Amino acid sequence: MLNKMKSLIAQLLAANEAYYGKDDPIMTDLEYDRLYSELEQMEQESGVVLASSPTQKVAGEVLDSLTSVTHTKPMLSADKTKSSAEIFKFIGGRKMVISWKLDGLTLVLRYENGKLTQAITRGDGLKGEDVTHTVRVMGNVPLTIPCTEPLEVRGEGVVSWQNFNALNEALAEPYSHPRNLAAGSIRKLDAKESKKRRLEFLAFDLISEDLGGTTKWENLRFLAQMGFTTVGYSVLAADAPLDALEQAIALYRPEEYAFPVDGLIFEYDDLAYGRSLGATGHHENRLMALKWADTLYNTVFRSLEVATTRTGMVSLTGVFDDVEIDGTIVNHAYLHNLDIFKRLALGPGDKISVYKANMIIPQIAENHTKSGGCPIPNVCPCCGSLLMIHTSTGGTQQLHCEDTTCPARLVRKFVHFCSKTRMEIEGLAEQTLETFVQRGWVKNFGDLYELERHKDDIVACPGFGEKSFARLQSAINKRRTCTLNQFIAAVGIPEVGRHAGRILNRHFDGDWNAFEQAIQEGYDFTQLQDFGKVMHDNIYAWYNNAEEAKLWRPALNHITFLKEEITMSENLNNNPFAGKTVVATGKLENYTRDGIQVKLLSLGAKPASSVSKKTDYLIVGEKAGSKLDKAKSLGVKVLTEEEFEYMLALSK
């Protein structure tokens, strides 16, 4: 038995190091809980508890790259159970406070004279890491509070589900869970980068005694008065029967809470009584966590979906027969890394058990037959290149496509092409495009106009259906016609954007063939207004790049170019801007960036993008920046938007 215990401890410690120290889990929560319960039971039966046992120590470690700080009070864990009957026994007829068990990174915030002085991670419970620089940029953390006495508050650094889903689309390596995103963001050395992750702090414990009252709910109310966002909670009356407890538990539905959670916390409302119970080396006796029992559902594994992300990492997703879990149909589960895929030994027809981790994220718990019928993918599903195996800092393995020209790694170019200020194809957001590219349905811009070939597969994708596909097709069909300037801005020629596109559109009268012929004949684009040598060279480099041509040229088979009609204002001879070179900068109140360009063209003006001696007017909005300074130094006439409109009114 002792050897078995040592083996379990080694596995759990390795999982703790990966989870807390490197934010790179090597096993699922369900696997961890099972091993932990098995070890705990063996310790109770044998009476032997080793010093290294995770049941006696709080998991985590201090990273060398951040300053170590000693906690004023050890940060212990909470004893855990999955039984409401055991919680009822723990309550013992006393008044309790029930709150969410948040799933992020636990933090301690210290205040002196009403000002935030330090923020510390949980670390190993005795020492943590100083992360004051990143906590200061969390939007809801009070930098000052109406309390001059020393104050310490504990809480959780978390990312809401809404922000997680939005942010994950833009990250180089998508995170599998908001917990990992929160932990990685808080530990960043660059506070500016951390701020982009939209973390929030939810307070759940007041460490400073004699400040908030004698009860837990008074403490939470006090923290709210100090300006903190507190964890969601409720109060369970003393002597509440078991059915009342179960009804209270049923009201907490994790899928309805804005933040990731992995259970509930039950704490005695009477603070003095709770403190009198003391603590073990692992947990405080004043509270207990209820973790939801993971109900397993049997189903049949069918296939493996392989998709290449924009970073080159290849994701693996298991597909299985429909299972209804908590009122929703589940048939896909993401396999976080190659190690998990190997361990499950999946194959078509295998009998598997699935569950929703924390009642939210579908996971494959076990493979009962382990046929191994699905080999490790060896080629990229998008470009066909041989895949390589990379090992992360946490020791887990991932498949990668190393072909830098792989369309899956060019998702940003597809996003640029479809964006509102370019081809403006509604319904093709980055997440949708990434899915289409990963599955190999879209390899060039022309494929966007041939999605009908993949209709059945697209309709079967989560979040899609017949109606959404019909809306997407309608949006695409509307963009089978465009102006030359829209297309030029969309294909992503470096330094040649919307303004340059309009200049080219005017010069070549909206004719793509004329533009292409000019390139083939060696036309000197520096002759055009606002065109320099860099832009000239970029056009030729783009046009002559064979790989780039594979991306944009197929779209020409689906597009008809229209001439952009610009209604010219009457009395051009009377308006003061006809024939003048005008630059607009900053945020204008009544015009978008494109809108002011069209307006100037209708006035017979020559819109320009940079200020020079040839500039006649500079129209400025908010945050005008360096162009305003340059205009002043050159003596260029500067107009506010109001002055611009006034001059137009006088000319009518």
**Which residue type is seen at 300?**
V
| CA angle at 125 for the pair 280 and 128, rounded to the nearest 5° | 170
> Is 443 a residue of the active site?
no
DSSP result, 125-159? SSEEEB-HHHHTTSTT--SB-S--S-EEEEEEEE-
Residue 2's CB: how many other CB atoms inside 10 A? 10
616 vs 599: CA distance, rounded Å: 16
Q: CA end-to-end span of the chain, whole Å?
A: 96
Structural tokens at position 257: 């809470």
Contacting residues for 160 by C-beta, under 8 A, at least 6 apart: 178, 198, 200, 258, 259
What distances in angstroms separate CA 349 from CA 493, 580, 606, one per listed residue? Answer: 49, 73, 68
The active-site residue out of 22, 57, 80, 101 is 101
Dist. CA 497–CA 355, nearest whole Å = 49
Q: How many CA atoms lie within 13 A of 90 on its CB side?
A: 27
Angle made by CA atoms 260, 263, 266, in degrees to the nearest 5: 130
- Under 8 Å CB-to-CB from 325, ≥6 apart: which residues? 295, 297, 354, 355, 356, 362
Q: Three-state DSSP class for 391?
A: strand
Q: Please tell me the distance from the alpha carbon of residue 504 to that of residue 489, in angstroms, as a whole number.
A: 10
- Report CA-CA distances (Å) from 206 to 61, 72, 105, 147: 24, 13, 17, 13
Q: What angle do CA 51, 265, 268 make, to 5 degrees?
A: 95
| Enzyme catalytic residues | 101
